[in-house]
Amino acid sequence: MEPLSERDDALRLLAAEAERAREGSGRLFLLRGATGTGRTALLRAAAQQAAARNMWVLRARCTPENSGTEWGVVHQLFGAEADFVDDPPADPGTPRAAHHRTQSALLWRLLETYAAEAPLFVAVDDVHAADPLSRRWLAEAARLVDGLPVLLVVTERSQYDIDPPGAGIAHGLSPALARTHTLAPLSDGAATDLVRAAFPEATPERVADCVRAGAGNPLLLHALLEDLSSGGTTDGSAPLPDTCAALYPGAYPDAVSWWLAGAGAATAQVARSLAVLESGEADAGAARAPSADGTAPARNRYPGCRPAERRDIQARIIARTAQADPDRVAGWLTAMTRLGLLRQDADGPHRYAHPLLRDAVLSGWTSGRRRAAHRTAAEELMRGGAEVAVVAGHLSHASAVAESWAVDVLVEAAAGEVRAGRPRGAVAFLRRALDEPMAPVRRATVLIQLGSLECAEYPSGGIARLAEAVRLPGGSRDLVRAMVALATALVRSGETRAALRVLREEEPRLADRPDLVRTLRAVALLMSDEELGALRKEYRRRSGPDGGTTDLLGAAHRILNVRYEATAGLISARDAMAQIRTLLEGPADPIAEPFLFGTAAAVAHWADELDEAERLVRRALDALGPFLLHPMHHVLLDLRVDLAAARADFDTVLADPRARSSGAGPSGPGPTSAHTQAVIALVETGRLEEAARLVDGFDLRTAPDSWRTHRFLYARGLLRAAAGDPAAALDDFMECGRRQAAREAFRSVVAPWRVAAAECELALGRPREALVLAEEELRLAEVWHTPRVRGRALRVLGEATGGRRGLELTGRAVGLLRGEPAGTELVSALISHGRLLHALRERSRARESLREAVERAERLGAVRLRTVAEELLREGGARRAGAPRTGPAALTGSERRVAGLAAEGRTNAEIAALLHLARRTVETHLTAAYRKLGITRRTELPRVLPPTPPGASARAG
């Protein structure tokens, strides 16, 4: 006989009672326990034990099916010898009760006869299901056996159910006549041993998963292990499934169904109502970190309530769903938690020990019952002030509510999912919202929101939703929102002509709203292939004799015109910003706000008003909201990357998730501005191979002729120049300039191609061509008149001019760029100035300029420029020709400082903060130091570096 888990104490008690009975002192031993705790197995083991001690064993098993058969248990115990109980009374007039007393007395004499032959072990399993006559006789026998060698051992189900159970068999018996032992759930240790015995190679996580799903119930745990073994699930590291459909042959859900059947219909209703309540909360779409026991902690379903109040709310919702007594429901939740089938959250409510157990409980309900329960739960949760996402989680599985609050909840929950970065959850909520009846205007809004989200993953489906929204009747503003979203989706799918056609064809529906027509035309201009060229034509037409004055133009048109004049070299940065600020002071239609703020941010960026540009970008994104698909959305995201690049914040540029992907961008086919800035950042940080892989991901021959493609040509040219191919780089720069000039964008504020082309001409030995480009760049820069563009133009003109005049020009460039948010421009100017000083044999001043360039490049993480400056320093004799190439003496000052701090145990992040460097620069210095020191690990630094003077680290910081 195999030992039972944690049942040795009970077996020893039964053995002691059997010995007591053998000596002539019998009594009733009541073995109680919840369903599945092993009462039957323990009774069987005790009976085998008694038989081994020469006791005569009589057995009976009670079931609900034979509970209506009179004397059913007695027939199982005594067989044919008890057939007399079925005989009718000798006198037909004898009362039935008197006849039963006579039969009971005869049965007692039969029991005495058996006991006279040998000690008896009478085993009756599940006595709570016995027929009333047998049950009454067993209770009477328990009062009489104390003088006989008879041990009555009966098992009885003792579990808190919704319907209160009847009195147990020991009710009314003296404690001296009956001994009771209650079986407790398995401990985690015992359950772990059982799992380990079935799966010796299982990981600790898999074992813990099985223990939770077993819920301390031997029946459930053995059934689960049977399914996992029979179903061929031998992988000890695979996670336990969350649904019973993944189990074979299905012993586990069968065991749960048997447990529920034994508990009664009312308890089963409550158990399934709890499962519905929990499943709706689990499907709310929240990403939650696992708790210590490996399960996802429940969200705060009832904000503002104490734990006790949350438990009461949960019990009330379950009671209403199951139509049960709330007090009994609260008691059941507590009892099941004590048994291990449920667990209590830190914030109060109860949940099933494992999702698999919850799914098994739910499997007994039809889909219609589940939908109805989810609807009831949603309504009760709304009344209880539960979190919106939890209510929406139930609504997503419920039948239609046909009330306005349902749509409100689903839309609000979708907005929360978008803010949390979970668009799929938002899509699910909005799709469910469309099942509710609503007015056409509201339906159009939901369609716009859903279509905007679907376009990210299901472009064709999203476009169909947006097209439906355009066709629905509604207000003018709703129509414009739908048209803007649809046109944007078409552009991103490469169907720009179709987008413009939609805007043009739907415009007559807005004849009574000229302000919205102007906004719609601004959208069309932004999407047009001709872009700023088209805007200029439109501006001239509307300013002419037939078009009236510029007052007839909307603010969005006027601000786009400021942008055009900025890139065409017709206006200064100061005047552009003055016009921008004036336009922003006036009232603006909410639909036009993204255009106003976004375009103003772009101009502020070019004017080096970076802080103001960031504020405008935030305002524009706030105006867009979380849903609306809009042509300015990716323009604004690009602007955020451009602003980081303007500050030479390479880490932020490369952290953008769009920056390192190749292929079609989210704003349409071809590279985005994020790709352009990523290539430039990789070049500046010395990672040319990564930059080349990113560039190779795009075929610019098939990319659209757009601003983004022009800028990417410029970035590719920078990569080719850094890789030592100035001729190929020059081709890219000139093509970039040609394409921009075709759009009347003469001033290279977006991509300074003339500066880069002039440097290539100098590298190719053509100073005259370089001078022409540099002079034109300076002419346009003087019009815009910001320190960055003027300093950049003066620097390249100085290099092309050379001599004392060139030195004067580069000196002016350095002076202009100091103190400005010039990024790497000041470093480049210091290098140019140092190079000319060296050529004029002013080596001391040259070294001073180049050393400053090295230091500033280090702070920015600009590895390429730092390398150039260090090479010029070496050429100028900053280090003697015989300087060592390896060992501590070969380290530069920066490498020595970084390596010294690393040897003290500092992390790269701490070193970067101490020395005010980019983390990438720290990594570059450490790599160079490892190579020169001949080591491969950080832990080797203390051994190979000489001791650092006291306080050196502090001075370095």
- pLDDT tens sequence across 92-143: 888 888 989 999 999 999 999 999 999 999 999 999 999 999 999 999 999 9
SS3 string of 725-754? Answer: CHHHHHHHHHHHHHHHHCCCCCCCCCCCHH
Residue 504 in tokens: 């043009």
State the pLDDT at residue 875.
82
Find out whether 315 and 305 touch, Cβ atoms under 8 Å: no
Q: What integer pLDDT is reported at residue 283 of this predicted model? A: 63
Q: Could you read off the pLDDT of 56-67 as tens digits, one per residue?
A: 999 999 998 888
Does pTM top 0.75 for this prediction? no
Q: Which of 756, 762, 815 is nearest to 790 (CA)?
A: 815
CA torsion 341-343-349-351 (nearest 10°) is -50
In DSSP terms, 179 is beta-bridged to: 29
> pLDDT tens for residues 631-665?
777 788 889 999 988 888 888 888 887 766 655 44
Q: What SS3 state is found at 352? A: strand
Q: 355-362 and 265-282 are packed helices; what angle lies between their axes, rounded to 10 degrees?
A: 130
Beta bridge partners of 120: 56, 150
User: Exposed/middle/buried for 175, CB within 10 Å: 0-12, 13-18, 19+?
Assistant: exposed
As given in the structure block, the two tokens for residue 189 are 């240790």
Q: Where do the H-state alpha helices sit in 1-71?
A: 8-22, 39-52
Whole-angstrom Cα distance, residue 389 to residue 693? 42
Q: Are 744 and 533 in contact (CB under 8 A)?
A: yes
Q: Which residues of 877-892 are buried (b: 16+ CB within 10 A; e: fewer)?
A: ebeeeeeeeeeeebbb
- Residue 318 CA to residue 266 CA, distance in Å, equals 12
* Rounded-to-10 torsion of CA 628, 629, 632, 633: 80
Helix (H) or strand (E) holding 350: strand 350-352
Calpha distance 687→858 (Å, rounded): 15
Residue 342 phi, psi (nearest 5)? -120, 160
Cα 835 to Cα 844: distance, rounded to the nearest angstrom: 12
End-to-end CA separation in angstroms for the chain:
74
**DSSP helix/strand/coil, 757:** helix
Contacts of 526 (CB under 8 A, 6+ apart): 560, 595, 631, 632
Burial 140-151 (b: 16+ CB within 10 A, else e): ebbeebbebbbb
Question: How many angstroms separate the most distant Cα atoms in the chain?
Answer: 142
- Distance (Å, whole) CA 262 – CA 835: 92
DSSP H stretches of helix in 283-403 = 307-322, 326-339, 355-362, 367-383, 388-395
Residue 758, H or E segment: helix 753-763
User: How far is Cα 577 from Cα 98, in angstroms, rounded to an integer?
Assistant: 110
The structure tokens listed for 319 are 């009671």
- Residue 138 CA to residue 151 CA, distance in Å, equals 12
**Phi then psi dihedrals of residue 484, to 5 deg:** -65, -45
Those residues of the chain that have pLDDT short of 70 are: 1-3, 231-237, 282-304, 458-460, 529-554, 588-589, 626-628, 659-669, 748-749, 820-822, 877-885, 947-957
pLDDT digit string (tens) for 783-818?
A: 998 899 999 999 999 999 999 999 999 999 999 998
The secondary element (H helix, E strand) that includes residue 870 is helix 863-875
Supply the angle between the helices 573-585 and 555-567 in degrees, to the nearest 10. Answer: 170
Query: Using DSSP, how many helices (H) and how many strands (E) does the chain show?
Result: 45, 7
- Burial label for 267, CB within 10 Å (0-12, 13-18, 19+), is buried
Local structure of residue 299 (DSSP, 8 states):
P
Structure tokens at 894: 């920066």
CA-wise closest residue to 22 among 149, 115, 151: 149
Q: Cβ neighbours of residue 770 under 8 Å, at least 6 residues apart?
A: 758, 759, 761, 762, 796, 799, 800
Angstrom CA distances, 197 to 5, 189, 193, 201, 389, stand at 12, 12, 6, 9, 42
- Indicate left, alpha or beta for 309 from its phi (over 0: left) and psi (-120 to 50: alpha): alpha
